[in-house]
């Protein structure tokens, strides 16, 4: 493994441990609540339908099938809360790839090394991808163990399919943060652009079926390709996941080209 990738991973380790623990505690803790819903399906289904107005239910994934194992995982784990936490993790870590060291002045020292800018970015980006993959693997293991403990009745393959989509979604938003940081060299700009796009794309996708103008906008929302295929029910939606991967690759190329051409004060 390249030295710069290893050094970057070492820089990430404390933040990664904190985010991984938080995501795993949330996912494992909430999965354990399924036994109560399974034992009282009518009560909790009705409560979910009456407690939240239609708009909020759509944002949370509907909640209509919350009493089933797959429906519970979709609504509570994979629809909103865990993606939100994981995207926040990705953005926070990705901002340390280019933008944070440039603002602090440490990037200039790194750029004096006999290494091309494109290679420097790719090695630091590789550390980001590996870091997010590690968090994805650990959180998948926790969710799988919790699912088996409460007898969710969802196969490991279907949970893996959903978690693969989660990783691709999070990697895309992390890559967007790196790209904006490579283009501007500003943490606040990268955070603002990625955050605004994440919120807007989620809302657009959630309301696409009910608001006509958002229907066509949803085609540019990463959340459409993350959730439209219902991997917990149908397995891996290959085409949708390839779209997420292709968009990520386009952003990586954009980041390399932008960073290679931009004056960073060296």
Per-position b or e across 6-37, b if 16+ CB within 10 A of its CB: eebbebbeeebeebbeebbebbbebbeebeeb
Task: Determine the pLDDT at residue 51.
Answer: 54
Contact 9, 130 (CB under 8 A): yes
Tokens of 261: 């051409």
> Could you give the angle at the alpha carbon of 89 between the alpha carbons of 16 and 69, nearest 5°?
100
Burial class (CB within 10 angstroms; exposed 0-12, middle 13-18, buried 19+) of 265: exposed
For residue 161, give every residue at least 6 positions away whose Cβ sits within 8 Å of its Cβ, in sequence order, or none.
231, 232, 235, 236
Q: Could you read off the pLDDT tens digit of each residue along the chain, which spans 266 residues?
A: 778 899 889 988 888 999 999 999 999 888 888 887 777 665 555 555 455 555 555 656 555 677 788 888 988 899 888 999 999 999 999 999 998 888 888 887 777 777 888 899 999 999 999 999 999 999 999 999 999 998 888 999 999 999 999 999 999 999 999 999 999 989 999 999 999 999 999 988 888 777 777 778 889 999 999 988 989 989 999 999 999 999 999 999 999 999 988 877 54
Task: Determine the pLDDT at residue 114.
Answer: 76
Task: Determine the pLDDT at residue 184.
Answer: 93
Task: Determine the pLDDT at residue 55.
Answer: 54
């Amino acid at each position: 493994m390249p030295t710069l990738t290893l050094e970057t991973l070492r820089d990430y380790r404390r933040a990664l441990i904190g985010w991984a623990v938080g995501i795993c505690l949330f996912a494992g803790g909430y999965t354990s609540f399924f036994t109560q819903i399974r034992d009282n399906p009518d009560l909790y289904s009705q409560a979910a339908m009456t407690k939240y107005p239609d708009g909020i239910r759509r944002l949370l994934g509907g909640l209509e099938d919350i009493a089933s194992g797959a429906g519970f995982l979709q609504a509570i784990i994979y629809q909103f809360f865990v993606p939100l936490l994981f995207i926040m993790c990705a953005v926070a870590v990705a901002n340390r790839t280019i933008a944070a060291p440039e603002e602090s002045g440490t990037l200039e020292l790194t750029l004096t090394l006999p290494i091309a800018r494109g290679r420097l970015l790719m090695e630091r980006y590789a550390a980001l991808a590996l870091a997010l993959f590690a968090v994805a693997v650990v959180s998948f293991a926790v969710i799988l163990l919790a699912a088996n403990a409460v007898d969710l009745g969802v196969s490991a393959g279907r949970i893996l399919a959903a978690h693969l989509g989660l990783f691709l979604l999070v990697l895309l938003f992390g890559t967007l943060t790196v790209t904006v940081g490579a283009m501007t060299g500003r943490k606040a700009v990268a955070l603002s652009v990625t955050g605004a796009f994440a919120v807007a794309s989620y809302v657009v996708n959630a309301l696409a079926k009910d608001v006509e103008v958002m229907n066509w906008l949803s085609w540019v929302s990463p959340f459409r390709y993350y959730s439209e295929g219902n991997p917990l029910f149908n397995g891996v939606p290959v085409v949708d996941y390839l779209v997420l991967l292709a968009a990520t690759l386009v952003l990586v190329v954009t980041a390399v080209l932008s960073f290679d051409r931009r004056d960073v004060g060296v």
